[in-house]
Amino acid sequence: MGKLELGGKPIDSSDAVAEIIAECGAQQFEFLEIAAEHASLAPSLKGDHKDSFDRMLTAQAARQGLRLVSADAVFDRFVPRIDRFWPGSPAVPGAPGQARLKKRPPKAVKKARS
């Protein structure tokens, strides 16, 4: 769709995607296949967000007990709740990963306490 960039370069070709896949493999990322159990949960998630890819990611995280790393707070509105992590995101009641995040005090306040 032309929306994605990595390191300031657009991801706009199969070569760019192949480069990303190779780098993921080099960093020992594990690729998660879409399974029937994921597909069966995706349409029944409660929430107003209709994007089918986001629903599938949520279903995968829920079924596999995985943490979803995303800046998009739309994932916090799905039920069942999943563990979404993004540094600096506000805590969301009932979202396991977000509840563990703590805001650091501003540096000026932190120095004053020392």
pLDDT tens by residue, 49-88: 999 999 999 999 999 999 999 999 999 999 999 999 998 8
Minimum mean pLDDT range among 6-10, 18-22, 65-69: 6-10
Q: Are strands 83-85 and 5-6 parallel, antiparallel or unpaired?
A: unpaired
pLDDT at 92: 56
Answer yes or no: are the C-beta atoms of 56 and 70 closer than 8 Å: no
User: Whole-angstrom Cα distance, residue 32 to residue 3?
Assistant: 23
Cβ atoms < 10 Å from Cβ of 60: 21
pLDDT at 103: 41
Report the predicted TM-score, pTM, of the whole model to 2 decimal places.
0.66
